[in-house]
């Protein structure tokens, strides 16, 4: 009879621990992954709790979901930009693709310079797809070689403390 009471109080403590900011801030990408068929208000609330706890993967994941799935481009890109500024390689690459495609605004609002710089930074941080995308930029000659070199150089010099058109450009989201 006391086993049931003890078990119940332990479950309450375990549940409280599960939503503790320290636990949420360290939740792994696997914990944050939600398949589209399982998306729910509860999953959205959980991701928001993780974001509020400062989980960098949650910023990126929720940003991607909002941008591409919930059609909330502004808030989605803003979440990704917060992590890109902290050198999150996948967030940098995703924002580079948004710049290449112009999907953050009007289609004529593409900004290849910003896209290349973001892509270069992501590639420098080890993002293989970003490196491949830079290869496509060279192969397809999307811009002049001199301009591409300048963008690559500026992208590699990007740090959270640096300022310039690239970080400023992320703010427009």
User: What's the pLDDT score for residue 144?
Assistant: 65
- Other beta carbons within 10 Å of 101: 11
Q: Which helix (H) or strand (E) holds 28?
A: none
Higher pLDDT, residue 25 or 3: 25
Q: pLDDT (tens digit, 9 = 90+) per residue, 85-128?
A: 888 999 999 999 998 888 766 556 677 888 888 888 898 889 99
Question: Mean pLDDT score of the chain, rounded to an integer?
Answer: 78
Q: pLDDT (tens digit, 9 = 90+) per residue, 54-94?
A: 999 999 999 999 998 888 888 999 999 999 988 899 999 99
- Taking each helix axis from N to C end, the angle separating 112-124 and 128-139, rounded to the nearest 10 degrees, works out to 140
């Amino acid at each position: 009879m006391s086993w049931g009471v003890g078990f119940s109080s332990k479950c309450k403590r375990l549940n409280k621990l599960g939503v503790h900011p320290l636990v949420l801030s360290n939740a792994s990408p696997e914990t944050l992954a939600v398949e589209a068929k399982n998306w729910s208000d509860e999953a959205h609330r959980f991701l928001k709790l993780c974001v509020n706890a400062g989980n960098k993967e949650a910023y990126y994941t929720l940003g991607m979901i909002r941008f591409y799935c919930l059609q909330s481009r502004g808030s989605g890109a803003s979440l990704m930009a917060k992590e890109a500024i902290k050198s999150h390689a996948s967030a940098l690459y995703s924002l580079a693709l948004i710049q290449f495609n112009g999907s953050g605004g009007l289609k004529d609002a593409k900004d290849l310079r910003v896209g290349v710089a973001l892509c270069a930074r992501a590639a420098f941080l080890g993002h293989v797809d970003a490196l491949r995308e830079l290869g496509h930029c060279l192969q397809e000659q999307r811009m002049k070689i001199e301009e591409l070199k300048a963008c690559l150089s500026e992208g590699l010099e990007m740090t959270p403390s640096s300022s310039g058109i690239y970080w400023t450009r992320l703010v427009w989201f």
